[in-house]
Structure 1
Amino acid sequence: MLYRNIITIEPVKRGGKPGIRRMRITVYDVLGWLSAGMSHAEILGQEPHS
């Protein structure tokens, strides 16, 4: 799987920050949660549409 299929940059969403396609989560958010020790399941639980 290519990251280009998952990560998008849209100037009108989240201030143009790289985000996860079809979700209102930025890459910055995910990296922060991972560095804080959250599991993949916990991160997916942050988004109501996951």
Structure 2
Amino acid sequence: MEIRHYKFNRITMDANKCFGKPCIRGLRMPVASILSYLSSGMTVDEILEEWPELEREDIYQALGYASWTMEERVVLLEEAAAK
């Protein structure tokens, strides 16, 4: 069963695709892959040329989703240092 993220309508999760990892529009393109391509130096245009099924807004939503997930995490530094 595919679930769309409530805030990012192009981000979907399905236990039967990519082990349930967040993907783009039900495609087998994990958000993490897009982030990896961008961090390796690929431009948005290069990604879109390589994967024509993607749209520019898909890339922007992947970035927005990644930013949102980082904002939602809280790491208590004192507890982390004690481990």
Larger Rg: 2
Structure 1 position 16, deviation (Å): 0.6
Unpaired segments ≥5 residues, structure 2: 1-5, 55-83
Counterpart check, 1:32 vs 2:36: yes
Q: CA RMSD in A?
A: 1.9
Contact persistence 1:23–1:47 (CA under 8 A): no
Distance in 2 (alpha carbons) for counterparts of 1:25 and 1:4: 15
Deviations 1:3-22 (A, max 9, x none): 52111111100111100004
Say which structure is richer in helix: 2
| 1:37-48 alignment, distance < 5 Å | 37-48=41-52
Distance in 1 (alpha carbons) for counterparts of 2:34 and 2:48: 9
Deviations 1:13-44 (A, max 9, x none): 01111000042210000000010010101112
**TM-score, normalization by structure 1:** 0.77
Contact persistence 1:6–1:21 (CA under 8 A): yes
Aligned structure 1 segments of 4 or more residues deviating by more than 2 angstroms: 45-50
- State the percentage of identical aligned residues: 41
Unpaired segments ≥5 residues, structure 1: none
